[in-house]
Amino acid sequence: MNRSSLFPVALALAGSLALALQPARAADAADPDPCSQPGPAWLGACRLLPYETNAIVHRSATGDDSALRGDFSLRYVAWASDGALRTIDHPVRLEPGAEAFISYTGEFDYYMLSRPSSPVVNRISNPALHLRWYAQGPMLDWVDFGLEHSSDGQTIGSRSERDIARAQEEYAAGNHRYFDGISRSMNFVSGEAAFGNEESVLVRTRVKYFATTDSDITWGPLAGTNTSFRDYDRYRLIVEHRFGDLALADVTYRAGDRGFATDSVDVGLSLDQSHALPLYLRLHSGPMATLSDYTRSQRMIAVGLRFSE
Instruction: Locate all alpha helices (DSSP H) within 134-178, ordered by sequence.
Output: 161-173
Q: What is the CATH number of the domain that holds 133?
A: 2.40.230.10
Give 245's pLDDT tier (boundaries 50, 70, 90): confident
Q: What is the structure's pLDDT at 116?
A: 74
Question: Number of structural domains, the chain?
Answer: 1
- Checking phi first, is residue 39 left (phi over 0); if not, alpha (psi -120 to 50) or beta? left
Could you tell me if residue 37 is inside a domain?
Answer: no
> Distance between CA 14 and CA 140 in Å, rounded?
32
Q: What is the structure's pLDDT at 277?
A: 84
Could you tell me if residue 33 is inside a domain?
Answer: no
Could you tell me if residue 106 is inside a domain?
Answer: yes
Q: What is the structure's pLDDT at 2?
A: 42
> Distance between CA 39 and CA 168 in Å, rounded?
58
> Distance between CA 172 and CA 219 in Å, rounded?
9
Which residue range is the domain that position 268 belongs to?
7-23+44-308
What mean pLDDT is reported for the chain? 86
Q: pLDDT tens across 52-93, in order?
A: 999 999 999 999 999 999 999 999 999 999 999 999 888 887
17, 53, 261, 294 from 264: Cα distances, Å: 33, 18, 9, 11
Give 24's pLDDT tier (boundaries 50, 70, 90): very low
- β-strands 54-61, 48-50: how paired? unpaired
Q: pLDDT tens across 272-307, in order?
A: 766 678 999 999 999 999 999 999 999 999 999 999
Could you tell me if residue 39 is inside a domain?
Answer: no
